[in-house]
């Protein structure tokens, strides 16, 4: 969690905004994921979301669904993702969020998962389908392990609920900038500004916006209202285009750099 707070403090001091990049661990394979993380770090990405592949990723669009399926077919498991992160910590200090649905975490065991995640070098956890009312059973263990539990706020979330989410949040708050699934639409800028403002009135934590952001121009516009942006499907589509042959890490790094340059 300290890496997250330190990174956002550094960005605030510089007057810059965060680029949060999502990768599906194990897509197209774990060794390529390792190379992609290092390329993102080298390109200036501020925070990494490492997606744990799941068989029914209901909040994700076609690109990430396909990536999850291929990663699972390739033998990627939660245990192997933690091993990858532990190995990456020999080479990078990029703040890293483990992005998951609750089923893999629940099956692994909340205490075991949080302890092993912290030991591997994770800084936080984001569980897409764990609502506020049910989050306490995991939050007890993330708090104990020193991990941030990152909440989601949607365009449809009411003011009272935003306040309750904000009181329980740690690390940062992820604003889902459109209804629907990832990578299938473009956020409405005026609506985003209004909703991010509602969240920021309830918390001192950074607020980052994700879903539907894929170009430097979009990232620049949206970051004007938020503390950072999340880009996921655009990276996954580029990886699908390049495959696991030569040049995929370089291509992903180049995309990340263009996005980061737009936020500086």
Is 60 considered catalytic here? yes
pLDDT in tens, 35-94: 999 999 999 999 999 999 999 888 788 899 999 999 999 999 999 999 999 999 999 999
Number of domains in the chain: 1
Instruction: List Cβ neighbours of 26 (8 Å cut-off, separation of 6 or more).
Output: 33, 53, 70, 71, 72, 74, 75, 76, 80, 81
Q: Active site residue: 13, 29, 31, 49, which one?
A: 49
pLDDT in tens, 44-61: 999 999 999 999 888 788
CA 69 to chain centre: 19
Is 49 considered catalytic here? yes
How high is the pLDDT of residue 1?
A: 62
Instruction: Look up the CATH number of the domain holding residue 202.
Output: 3.20.20.70
Other C-beta atoms within 10 Å of 137: how many? Answer: 11
DSSP 207-243: EEEESS--SHHHHHHHHTTSSEEEE-HHHHHHHHHHT
Mean pLDDT for all residues in the chain: 93
pLDDT in tens, 158-203: 999 999 999 999 999 999 986 544 444 566 688 899 999 999 999 9
Domain of residue 25: give its range: 2-261
Alpha-carbon dihedral sign for residues 86, 230, 72, 111: positive
Q: Active site residue: 29, 46, 56, 60, which one?
A: 60
Predicted structure pTM score:
0.94
């Amino acid at each position: 969690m300290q890496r997250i707070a330190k990174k956002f403090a550094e960005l605030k001091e510089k007057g810059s905004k965060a680029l949060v990049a999502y990768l599906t661990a194990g897509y197209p394979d774990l060794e390529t994921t390792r190379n992609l993380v290092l390329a993102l770090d080298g390109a200036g990405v501020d925070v990494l979301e490492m997606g744990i592949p799941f068989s029914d990723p209901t909040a994700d669009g076609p690109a990430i669904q396909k990536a999850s399926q291929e990663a699972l077919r390739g033998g990627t498991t939660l245990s192997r993702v933690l091993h990858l992160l532990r190995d990456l910590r020999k080479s990078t200090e990029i703040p890293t969020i483990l992005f998951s649905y609750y089923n893999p975490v629940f099956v692994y065991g909340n205490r075991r998962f949080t302890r092993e995640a912290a030991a591997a070098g994770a800084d936080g956890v984001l569980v897409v389908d764990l609502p506020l009312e049910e989050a306490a059973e995991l939050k007890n263990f993330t708090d104990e392990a020193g991990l941030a539990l990152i909440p989601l706020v949607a365009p449809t979330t009411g003011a009272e609920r935003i306040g309750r989410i904000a009181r329980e949040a740690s690390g940062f708050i992820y604003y889902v900038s459109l209804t629907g699934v990832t990578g299938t639409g473009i956020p409405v800028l005026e609506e985003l500004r209004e909703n991010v403002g509602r969240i920021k009135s309830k918390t001192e934590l950074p607020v980052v916006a994700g879903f539907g952001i894929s170009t430097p121009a979009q990232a620049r516009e949206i970051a004007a209202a938020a503390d950072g942006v999340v880009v996921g499907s655009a990276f996954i589509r580029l990886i699908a285009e390049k495959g696991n042959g030569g040049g995929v890490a370089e291509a992903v790094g180049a995309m990340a750099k263009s996005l980061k340059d737009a936020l500086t």
